[in-house]
Amino acid sequence: MVPLSWYLVLAAALFCVGLYGVLARKNAVAILMGIELMLNAVNINLVSFWHYLNPQVMAGQMFTIIVLTVAASEAAVGLALIISIYRRRNSVIAEDMDLMKW
């Protein structure tokens, strides 16, 4: 019998690992991987609340699917931006992107 708090702690830990990845990494693609980790932590939270509190209502799973869809589109746009930046500046290090217009 797994209590709800275990799932919440796991989701919190995954979120914090993703947050460290976003804040501490240089490569822009690695930052995007940290963002995906954070979104997965949110999904774990949503599904565990659905399972433990009100599984009769499908809103929990629906929310999760919408979050997943938005994460997919955001990953696509983010990676397209990174590829476009790489074509111009020949670098994907986030610290080097220090100009708004060149």
User: Where does residue 18 rank: exposed (0-12), middle (13-18), buried (19+ CB within 10 A)?
Assistant: buried
What is the x/- site pattern for another protein, positions 64-83, by CB under 8 A?
xxx-xxxxxxxxxx-xxxxx
Q: Which is nearer to another protein, 22 or 99 (CB)?
A: 22
In the complex, minimum distance from the CB of residue 7 to another protein, in angstroms, rounded to a whole number: 8
93 binds another protein (CB under 8 A): yes
Cβ(19)–Cβ(34) below 8 Å: yes
Enumerate residues 6+ apart whose C-beta is below 8 A from 28.
82, 85, 92, 93, 94, 97
- Given 1, 99, 100, 101, the residue binding another protein (CB under 8 A): 1
Interface positions, 27-56, toward another protein (CB under 8 A): 27, 29-30, 32-34, 36-37, 40, 43-44, 47-48, 50-56
Which H or E run includes 46? helix 28-53
Q: Which is nearer to another protein, 95 or 102 (CB)?
A: 95
